[in-house]
A and B are shown apart, each in its own frame.
Chain A
């Protein structure tokens, strides 16, 4: 399961803690993973792994339940706050 925020948020946070102002002014180069948005579902399927993108909180439980019951790998690309 990917908690997908489409960024290196940990690095942005570290840069803020270290007061690295140039990173902030330049909107954190090489830390926004949006050009393009990575198609993790497509990557997984290309290797024969079942995959789903989960965009609604209410859909998550059913996806996790199905994954636990499944005797094969599965990838869930779960969008979280950016």
Chain B
């Protein structure tokens, strides 16, 4: 199983059905995995302001976790105003973004950057996945953090090499959700 597929297994366990996003090269493994996964529908927007506002609005209206994906540094930058709104409103929102392959980062590839630091002030938790075996635990913690009162957005940075790394040692235990209204 790929790292990005492990992420989807954890999201499916909390009945996520919609992932809002605007794709880019560093998120292609996610779009590839979603292309043949009938559990999810990708809600496509051409700019991160409406993408984030749609995910925020969906989460608030449904009472469910909102999940969205933006394209690395530029996409997160575009999303920031709406991320501030989600943070102020306490919306349970999981924000995903790809990151350049870590083997290339010494060369400062285009669009690479400290997205974790950018997202941190307006999220409850902001982290980059460094080891593919950590994907399920980090997604569990992110989901649980977003949904635990006081609820709010969380941010995960997903390097391309982590998304595409394969492992047979994923712990796919579902997240433990304490929010009484969630299920």
Contacts and interface: CB of A to CB of B under 8 A. Distances in A.
B31 interface: yes
Main SS class of interface, B:
helix
A22 B23 contact: no
A66 interface: no
Contacts, number: 43
A29 B44 CA distance: 9
B112 to A, nearest CB: 15
Given A8-B23, A14-B25, A30-B23, A22 B32 contact: yes
Contacts of B34: 29
A64 B25 CA distance: 32
Contacts of A30: 21, 23, 31, 42, 44
Given A29-B31, A30-B42, 12 more contacts: A11-B24, A11-B25, A15-B32, A20-B28, A20-B29, A25-B35, A25-B36, A29-B34, A29-B35, A30-B21, A30-B44, A31-B23
A33 B46 contact: yes
A81 to B, nearest CB: 21
Given A29-B42, A30-B44, A22 B33 contact: yes
Given A29-B42, A31-B23, A11 B28 contact: yes
